[in-house]
């Protein structure tokens, strides 16, 4: 069924349903300066709407809208900003059905990996993209990673302190609106399939994760080009590879309204010729009533060399829906050493 037919059908049937509607949105603006001559202004708008259809069942929808003034201001490999992408008037982030039971959830529809994996209390403070998804995954496979999405079957199960999550995706993510580029495509012969699983454990105030991502297609490094259409399947290696990761965050000091959290994470890809096959990070976050301050250091091993990065940031809540965040980042790789100053404003409504 074509994309236009699907959207038309949903537009005709949804108004006739009895539902509870919840609408929300988030706007993020980020100013960037390379401390020399280059500047950039990046804007991200996300709109969410949940429609409760019946007990336990809901239609989840979300769109993203991206606009920026210039291209990336430094020549880094991990991408120092987790919201910077090409201008996009509108793309689907989520569109599907979620059913919730007492200890489990099941989703079928369009989704991306960032909705369910990699984000925690500590990592959510930092603005570097590697705190949102490990480069051993995002740099090695053209998957449904922001701003791309794809057809997904997702479920999670919660048993006390343990939570297990699993998602099965179309092997390539999309964000277009035409026949050959839209997130409703399911093409296992060409795109392959991609599965991601994660086990989480909460112990006291600590939170620990271990996971694995498996793809049954292997793209050669020189075939991954973000500016061009993905190479057809006959030009890729039909070889399964995976990436695994471990991550933990543990408060080391805590009062009623303040705490200090230590965090560490590590990931590897089993295929040494992938674009990125090793990543590690260590950091510390202070969280108070209206302030959060964090420092984080990352190391990534790409096929072209090593990259080291450091982020120092402070988030100040103005009220419940608005915060400002100055940012300093240092990046060093084979292309040189770079420093970036930034300021982010985030508003929810």
**Interval 86-128: pLDDT, tens:** 999 999 999 999 999 999 999 999 999 999 999 898 999 999 9
Residue 226 has pLDDT above 50, yes or no: no
Residue 223 has pLDDT above 70, yes or no: no
Residue 8 domain-assigned? yes
Residue 17, domain member (yes or no): no
How far, in Å, are 182, 192, 306, 331 from residue 168 at the CA level?
A: 17, 11, 31, 34
CA dist 271 and 141 (Å) reads: 12
Check residues 19 and 90 and name the one with the higher pLDDT: 90
Q: Where are the strands (E) in 34-85, listed by range?
A: 39-54, 57-68
Examine the pLDDT at 248 and tell me if it is beyond 60.
Answer: yes
Indicate the SS3 state at residue 88.
strand
Continuous segment of H or E residues that includes residue 162: strand 162-170
Question: What are the angstrom distances between the C-alpha of 229 and each of 88, 172, 269?
Answer: 16, 11, 24
Q: Is the pLDDT of residue 278 over 50?
A: yes
> In whole angstroms, what is the distance from residue 195 CA to residue 325 CA?
34
pLDDT for 319 equals 95
Report if residue 21 sits inside a domain.
no
In a domain, 88, yes or no: yes
Strand residue runs (E) in 11-145: 20-33, 39-54, 57-68, 88-100, 104-111
pLDDT confidence band for 220 (50 / 70 / 90):
low
More confident residue, 319 or 220: 319
Here the tokens at position 227 are 């500016």
pLDDT, tens digit (0-9, with 9 covering 90-100), for 143-189 = 999 999 999 999 999 999 999 999 999 999 999 999 999 999 999 99
Question: Rounded to 5 degrees, what are φ and ψ at 262?
Answer: -100, 140
Q: Residue 221: its pLDDT value, please?
A: 66
More confident residue, 231 or 219: 219
* Torsion sign over Cα 90, 61, 139, 311: positive
CATH code assigned at 105: 2.40.160.10
Q: Radius of gyration (Cα) for the chain, nearest Å?
A: 20
Q: How many domains does the chain have?
A: 1
User: Where would I find the H helices in 36-184?
Assistant: 135-138
SS3 category, 17: coil
Contact 298, 323 (CB under 8 A): no
Reading the block at residue 159, the tokens are 């048993």
Given a cut of 50, is residue 12 above it in pLDDT? no
In a domain, 278, yes or no: yes
- pLDDT (0 to 100) of residue 85: 96
Give mean pLDDT, residues 229-252: 77
Among candidates 339, 280, 244, 28, which has minimal Cα distance to 130?
280
CA atoms of 192 and 215, how far apart (whole Å)? 7
Average pLDDT over residues 64-87: 96
Here the tokens at position 3 are 């994309």
Q: Is the pLDDT of residue 242 over 90?
A: yes
Share above pLDDT 90 across residues of the chain, in percent, rounded to a whole number: 82
pTM for the full predicted model: 0.89
* Amino acid 219: pLDDT: 78
Counting Cβ atoms within 10 Å, is residue 233 exposed (0-12), middle (13-18) or buried (19+)? middle
pLDDT at residue number 237: 65
**Four-point Cα dihedral 77, 78, 80, 82, nearest 10:** 130
pLDDT tens digits for range 127-140:
999 999 999 999 99
Cα–Cα distance between 312 and 296 in angstroms, integer?
7
Decide if 303 is inside a domain.
Answer: yes
| Domain interval for residue 299 | 3-12+27-348
Domain annotation covers residue 127? yes
Residue 16 has pLDDT above 60, yes or no: no
18 lies in some domain? no
pLDDT band with cut points at 50, 70 and 90 for residue 222: low
pLDDT at 19: 60
- Would you place residue 205 in the very low, low, confident or very high pLDDT band (cuts 50, 70, 90)? confident
Instruction: State residue 263's pLDDT score.
Output: 97
Neighbours of 44 (CB within 10 A): 23
């Amino acid at each position: 069924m074509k994309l236009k037919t699907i959207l038309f059908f949903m537009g005709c049937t949804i108004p006739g349903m009895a539902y509870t509607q919840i609408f929300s949105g988030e706007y993020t603006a980020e100013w960037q300066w390379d401390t020399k001559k280059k500047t950039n202004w990046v804007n991200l708008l996300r709109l969410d709407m949940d429609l409760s259809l019946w007990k336990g069942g809901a239609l989840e929808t979300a769109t993203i809208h991206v606009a920026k003034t210039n291209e990336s201001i430094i020549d880094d490999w991990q991408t120092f900003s987790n919201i910077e992408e090409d201008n996009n008037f509108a793309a689907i982030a989520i569109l599907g059905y979620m059913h919730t039971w007492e200890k489990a959830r099941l989703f079928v529809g369009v989704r991306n990996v960032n909705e369910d994996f990699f984000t925690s209390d500590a990592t959510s403070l930092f603005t570097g993209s590697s705190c949102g998804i490990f480069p051993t995954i995002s740099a090695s496979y053209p998957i449904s990673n922001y701003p791309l999405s794809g057809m997904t079957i997702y479920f999670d199960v919660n048993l006390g302190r343990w939570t297990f999550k699993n998602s099965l995706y179309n092997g390539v993510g999309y964000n277009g609106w035409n026949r050959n580029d839209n997130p409703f495509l399911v093409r296992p012969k060409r795109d392959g399939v991609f599965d991601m699983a994660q086990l989480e454990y909460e112990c006291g105030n600590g939170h620990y994760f271990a996971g694995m991502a498996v793809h049954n297609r292997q793209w050669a490094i020189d075939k991954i080009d973000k500016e061009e259409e993905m190479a057809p399947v006959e030009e890729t290696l039909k070889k399964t590879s995976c990436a695994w990761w471990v991550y933990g965050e543990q408060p080391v000091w805590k009062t009623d309204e303040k705490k200090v959290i230590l965090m560490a994470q590590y990931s590897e890809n089993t295929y040494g010729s992938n674009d990125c096959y090793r990543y590690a990070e260590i950091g510390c976050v202070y969280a108070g009533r209206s302030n959060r301050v964090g420092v984080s250091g990352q190391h990534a091993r790409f096929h072209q060399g090593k990259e080291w990065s450091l982020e120092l940031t402070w988030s100040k809540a103005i009220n419940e829906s608005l915060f400002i965040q100055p940012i300093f980042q240092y990046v060093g790789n084979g292309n040189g050493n770079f420093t970036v100053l930034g300021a982010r404003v985030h508003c929810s409504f």
